[in-house]
Amino acid sequence: MSHINIEIKARTTKQEKIRDILKLNNAEFMGVDHQIDTYFKVGFGRLKLREGNIENCLIHYERDDISGPKKSSVILYAHSSGPKLKEILAKSLGVLAVVDKHREIFFINNVKFHLDDVAGLGTFIEIEAIDKNGSVGNEKLLEQCNYYLTLLDVSNEDLVENSYSDLVKS
pLDDT tens by residue, 107-152: 999 999 999 999 999 999 999 999 988 888 889 999 999 999 999 9
- Whether residue 161 contacts residue 68, with contact meaning beta carbons closer than 8 Å, is answered with no
> Residue 151 is which amino acid?
L
State the total domains in the chain.
1
pTM strictly above 0.85: yes
- Whether residue 49 contacts residue 37, with contact meaning beta carbons closer than 8 Å, is answered with yes
pLDDT tens by residue, 49-91: 999 999 999 999 998 887 788 899 999 999 887 789 999 999 9
Domain encompassing residue 84: 2-169
Q: What is the CATH number of the domain that holds 17?
A: 2.40.320.10
Q: What is the rounded average pLDDT for all residues in the chain?
A: 93
2: pLDDT strictly greater than 80: no
